[in-house]
Chains A and B, each alone.
Chain A
Amino acid sequence: MDSKRPDRRRFLKGGAALAGSLTLGAVKPALGQTPESGQFIKGTDEMIAYGDRSRFVTSKRMPHPPGGRESPDGFGLVFHVAAPLQDSVGMITPSSLHFVGTTRGSYIPDIDPTEHRLMIHGMVDRPLTFTMEDLKRLPSVTRPHFIECAGNRSRPQHKSVQESHGMTSCAEWTGVLLSVLLKEAGVKDSAPWIVAEGAEEVKGASSIPMAKAMDDCMVAYGMNGEALRPQQGFPVRLLVPGFEGIFHSKYLRRIKAVDRYYMTYSDYGHLNREPERAALGYQIGPKSVITFPSGGQQLPGKGFYQISGLAWSGGGAVSKVEVSTDGGRRWMDAEIKGTAYRMAHTRFGLTWNWDGKETELLSRCTDELGQVQPARAQVAEFFNARAGSGFSVPGQDNSIQPWRIASDGAVHNAIT
């Protein structure tokens, strides 16, 4: 390409008069910015109807956990799917790249929305059944919220941020607040819990505190400006902002107001022996991760970089993100890009001049409640354990992710 550049420059400088007599096709592209004839993307009916990305953009999801057991039963089905956070920009995950958690290995119910119903019943004055049309007539809210799987846990063998952190995503959700539906049904004050249930094959159900249900839970039918994707619960799902992923019931078909914790199968999976561990089981803690530079990426050499990452918390909005470029000795406040919404991914950045020497990059999130993202060693100390390779952060793992930059620019997971 370099050899063609002078030709083109000469042509551009001296050839104004000739230009009219030459077709564009005769001009070789010099900078890769001027497509040759025949290199245009054809405006097919499909592309007109529903656009696609460039063939040069190949970012994609992958099964989770990587290379490990595919599903908890031995049937070899893909159980979970992780989002490519290393390629992400901004705070929204495209619907096509949003992580997927499943109950039993990628069975996706094919639901006709005109047939779907949501029933509200139990400890209510008036049980009610809503059609999708009913739900869309009710007053709506639109909010960005992350959803994160409780199993989103960085391990030493994870090579990329997709493997270590890809089970979180953030979308703009549209729907009806659950409180509107519960009030409409006349929910009784004496009901401290709800059970939310999906219509998929196992009809997954979770007990959720009424305080949460009435606070900010959303019955969502919209995602990133269009209908939910089937993998995200089409035609309607529950959003339980800031709670572990399993609470966000997809294919929502039933809400039952109840007088106690109902101990569903999903609830049973949350049981813990120790109260400290049980307390870490619902709400996701303050968490952040640097997505560039991150594991598996290669820095071309020393010089200027913008470190970029995502921060979020189940406790509310991110109030501060700090980044260390020297393994945690000094911390600098990162820039919050745009608005830090409550229970939403928040993009942060920090300018950095790499001197070419080996170092470690870390990020640390503080949320509006003053909760601070801990280092693994701090969590281990709290639980009187050693932070070695056998240590697993209790509850949802929100510990600080270290990335080691080798002197050759290669980036590695520095969790030990």
Chain B
Amino acid sequence: MAPFTTRLLRLLPIAMLLGGVTLAQSQTYGLGKTPTAEEIRAWDISISPTGEELPPGRGTAVEGAQVYQLKACSACHGEKGIGGPAPRLVKLDAKPGGDAWDLGRILPIRAPYATLIWDYTNRAMPLGAEGSLTADEVYALTAYMLYINDLISEDMVIDAKSLPKIEMPNRTAFAPLPDWKPGMPRLPGYPH
């Protein structure tokens, strides 16, 4: 860290000469280290709704069903996503006249974006070995979860390109988020 700080201090007068926007946004304290692009890639497990952070890899529901058994997902989530102690992975039966919201708070059906299924499986599964799945395994498991919820066919290839394009039934079923500003009441006029 010391060489970096020294380097920064040397650069400071040059930045001052250059002035402008760059100067206004320079570091004030000179602390912290610049991570490498690889370090950022390794740490950055946030997958946006459009999936630009998705890594290379691919998988189908057929492969996912095998991974589901191999990684003992069924021990917690039950055979085919129903009946285990962990949250259910298959949608509830549709209510007559109901909408996507009625299918339950079940990740592979309520998630407004299919990228979220990938993101959560990748970061938080399996229990006790979180983060240990390969990208291919996560793609395959995601495909499997989409398949058992009737969202894709058994042989559809899920990868960085196809995953963000899956039309989730809850995509537009949720209310927009409030535009939070400091000093703002939660809901004007609430509760009376």
What is the distance, in angstroms, from A314's C-beta to the closest C-beta of chain B? 8
Residue of A nearest to B40 (CB): A121
Which residue of the partner chain, among A134, A197, A215, A371, contacts B46 with CB atoms under 8 Å?
A: A197
Chain B proximity of A411: nearest CB distance (Å):
27
Contact with A along B163-183 (1 / 0, CB 8 A): 000000010011111111111
Q: CB distance A129 to B39 under 8 Å? A: yes
Question: Given that A184-B32, A202-B124, A272-B174 are contacting pairs, would A263 and B192 also be in contact in the complex, using a CB cutoff of 8 Å?
Answer: no
Question: Interface size on A (CB < 8 Å)?
Answer: 71
Taking CB atoms and an 8 Å cut-off, the chain B residues in 79-114 that contact chain A are 84-87, 101, 105, 107, 110-113
Complex interface bits, A255-291 against B, C-beta within 8 A gives 1, otherwise 0 = 0101011111100110111111111111101000000
Please indicate the chain A residues that have their CB under 8 angstroms from the CB of B39 in the complex.
119, 129
Among B22-30, B60-68, B154-162, the stretch that binds chain A is: B22-30
| Among listed A44-52, A205-213, A352-360, interface-contacting one | A205-213
Please tell me which stretch of A26-34, A82-90, A377-385 contacts chain B, meaning at least 4 of its Cβ atoms lie within 8 angstroms of it: A377-385
- Check if A263 sits within 8 Å of B35, measured CB to CB: no
Task: Give the complex CA separation of A253 and B187 in angstroms.
Answer: 32
Q: How many residues of B contact A (CB 8 A)?
A: 59
CB neighbours of A329 from chain B (8 A): none
Contacts A138-B31, A273-B173, A278-B175 given; indicate if A369 touches B119 (C-beta within 8 A). Answer: no
Among B120-179, those with CB < 8 Å from A are: 120, 123-124, 127, 130-131, 170, 173-179
CB neighbours (8 Å) of B191 from chain A are 374, 378-379, 381-382
Choose among B48, B170, B190, B192 the residue with the greatest number of A CB atoms under 10 Å from its CB.
B190
Residue A65 interfacial (CB < 8 Å):
no
**Chain B residues, Cβ within 8 Å of A235:** none
Q: Does B44 contact A (CB under 8 A)?
A: yes
Bound-state CA distance A370–B155 (Å) is 58
A319 to chain B, nearest CB (A): 13
Chain B residues with CB below 8 A from A271, complex form: 110, 112, 170, 174-175
Chain B hits for A278, CB < 8 A: 174-178
A268-B111 in contact (CB<8A): yes
Q: Is the CB of A203 within 8 A of B131?
A: yes
In the complex, what distance in Å separates the CA atom of A121 from the CA atom of B32? Answer: 12
A-B pairs with beta carbons under 8 A, tally: 178
A282, B34: Cβ atoms closer than 8 Å: no
B74 to chain A, nearest CB (A): 14
Say which residue of A120, A211, A276 sits within 8 Å of B187 (CB atoms): A276
Distance from A325 Cβ to chain B, minimum over Cβ atoms (Å): 24
* B174 x A137 contact (CB < 8 A): no
Q: Within 8 Å of chain B (Cβ to Cβ): is A415?
A: no
A183 interface contact, C-beta 8 A = yes
Q: How far is the CB of A360 from chain B (nearest CB, A)?
A: 21
Please, which residue of chain A has its CB at the minimum distance from the CB of B183? A369
* Neighbouring A residues of B115 by C-beta, 8 Å: 263
Q: Please state if A128 and B34 are interface contacts (CB–CB under 8 Å).
A: yes
A262 in contact with B49 (CB, 8 Å): yes
How far, in angstroms, from A323 to B185 measured CA to CA in the complex? 23
Within the assembled complex, what's the spacing in Å between the Cα atoms of A382 and B107?
30
Instruction: Tell me, rounded to whole Å, the shortest Cβ–Cβ distance linking A31 to chain B.
Output: 52
Q: What residues on A are CB-neighbors of B116 within 8 Å?
A: 263-265, 268
The segment from A71-79, A293-301, A332-340 that touches chain B is A71-79
Quick check: A261 and B46 within 8 Å, CB to CB? Answer: no
Instruction: Find chain B residues with CB under 8 A from A273 CB.
Output: 101, 173-175
A127 and B40 within 8 A (CB): yes
- Say yes or no for A409: interface residue by CB 8 A criterion: no
Task: Check B29–A119 contact: CB distance below 8 A.
Answer: no
CB–CB B31/A184 < 8 A: yes
B33 at the interface (CB under 8 A from A): yes
Residues of A within 8 A of B40 (CB): 119, 121, 127
Residue of B33, B86, B178, B182 near A129 (CB, 8 A) is B33
Assess whether A94 is interfacial by the CB under 8 Å rule: no
The residue of chain B having its C-beta at the shortest distance from the C-beta of A254 within the complex is B43
Beyond A202-B123, A268-B116, A283-B184, 16 additional pairs, beta carbon < 8 A: A73-B87, A75-B86, A121-B35, A134-B31, A183-B25, A186-B25, A201-B130, A203-B123, A212-B182, A260-B48, A263-B113, A265-B124, A283-B186, A315-B186, A369-B184, A369-B185
What would be 26 A-B contacts, judged by CB atoms less than 8 Å apart? A72-B87, A74-B86, A119-B39, A119-B40, A126-B27, A128-B35, A130-B33, A131-B33, A137-B29, A201-B124, A202-B123, A203-B131, A209-B179, A211-B181, A216-B182, A253-B43, A258-B46, A268-B116, A271-B110, A271-B175, A275-B176, A278-B174, A280-B190, A282-B180, A369-B183, A378-B191
Residues on A facing B (Cβ under 8 Å)? 72-75, 104, 119-121, 125-131, 134, 137-138, 183-186, 195, 197, 201-203, 205, 209, 211-212, 215-216, 253-254, 256, 258, 260-265, 268-269, 271-283, 285, 314-316, 369-371, 374, 378-379, 381-382, 395
